[in-house]
Copies of this chain bind each other. A is one copy, B any other.
Amino acid sequence: MLRIALDAMGADNGVAPVVDGLLSSLQNKQFYALLVGNEALLKSFLDSKHLSDAILQRIQIVHANDFIQMTESASTANKRVDTSIYQAMQLLKKHEADACVSAGHSGATMSLATLQIGRIKGVSRPAICTCMPTITSNPSVILDAGANTDCKPEYLVDFAIMGFHYAKKVLGYANPRVGLLANGEEDSKGNELTKEAFKLLKSYDFFKGNVEGSDIFNGSVDVIICDGFAGNLVLKASEGVASSINIILKQQIKKSFLNILGYMLMKPAFQSLRNKIDYAEYGGAPLLGVKKPVIISHGKSNARAMECAIYQAAVGCETQVCDIIQEAFNNQDKGS
C-alpha cells in the first residue's frame, strides 16, 4: 500500500487543517499515512476525533521534537534534524515513504527535498509546478511558481520538459502545448532571459512560442514557463484580482435590496465560480525535478486543500512522474 509522509507542523493554522485533510483523504483513498510532528499533540488531536480502527490502523505518528517556523530562514533546515519536515524527508529518503506533503516552510521543504532526496540527473533546478483554472475545462500548469527567483535560460528549458511530462502523465493531456511567458506573443518579445530561452526551446516540438499573462487563464497553451520570480508575481496578482473583485462586488451588493435578492438567486453560479477558481481544489504544488514526489502546500491551506494535496502525492506515485521525467532527461526527449 502507498505510504505518504505528511508534515503535520509549521502550517499557518496549526495541525487542525492538516489532520482534518488527512482524515478525509483516508476515507476516499487506500494509503498509509506517516504523520510527522509532535506526538502528544497529534495523538490528543486524533483521540478527539473518535476514529474507527480501520482508519487508525492506516495512521502512524512519527515523532519530531521541533519544526521550522514561517518566520525562520530556510538556510539552517538541513542541520535541524529534529524538525518535522527533516524527519518527513528522511522517511522518503530511507524508502519508508513513497511521497511527502508539507504545508510548512516552503523554502525549507524545497531545500531539504533537493539536498536529501536529490535532483533528477540532468535537471538543473527543481521547479514548483502550480495548476491554474482556465475558462476551458482543463487547468493550465505554470512553472516555476516560486522556487528559483533568478534563472538561466537552460533552467527554463528544463522547466518546459518537466511541465510537458507532468501535463501529459499526471493531467492526462494528449499533446501538451508549452508556452514561454513574455511581454507579447511575437517571437521578438521578451527580456534577455526569455529571448535566450526562446532560442533553446525552438527545437522542441511541444513549444508553441511566447504567451502573455492573460494566456494563463484562456487555455491557449497547457503549460506556461517562467522564472520563479515572475511566476510568483503573476500568481499573487491573479489571486489579488479575484479577491478584489469579490470584495468590490460585495460592497456593491450591500447597497440595495434588489442586489441582495439577485445575489441570493445567483448563489449557485457564484458557488460554481468559487469552486472553479478555489486554490484548495488544486491542492498543493509538486516540486518537479527531485527524485521522488514532494508536494508543497500553501501555508494557509484549509482541510480541503490538504486533502487534495495528498491525492496529488498519490497520483505522483501512481503515474511515476519522477521516473518519467528522469527518462526524458536521459533520452534528451524533445517531446515528440
Contacts and interface: CB of A to CB of B under 8 A. Distances in A.
Contact of A237 (B216, B245, B270, B277): B216
Contacts of A73: 188
A134 B244 contact: yes
Number of copies: 2
Contacts of A184: 232
Interface in A130-145: 133-135
A54 interface: no
Contacts of A218: 240, 244
Given A135-B247, A213-B240, A268-B259, A181 B150 contact: no
Interface residues of A, number: 66
A262 B252 contact: no
B261 A273 contact: no
**Which are the 9 A-B pairs with shortest beta-carbon distances?**
A262-B265, A214-B240, A213-B236, A213-B237, A262-B266, A252-B269, A183-B232, A217-B244, A241-B241
A226 B230 CA distance: 11
Contact of A240 (B215, B226, B235, B251): B215
A233 B262 contact: no
B183 A233 contact: yes
A130 to B, nearest CB: 13
A239 interface: yes
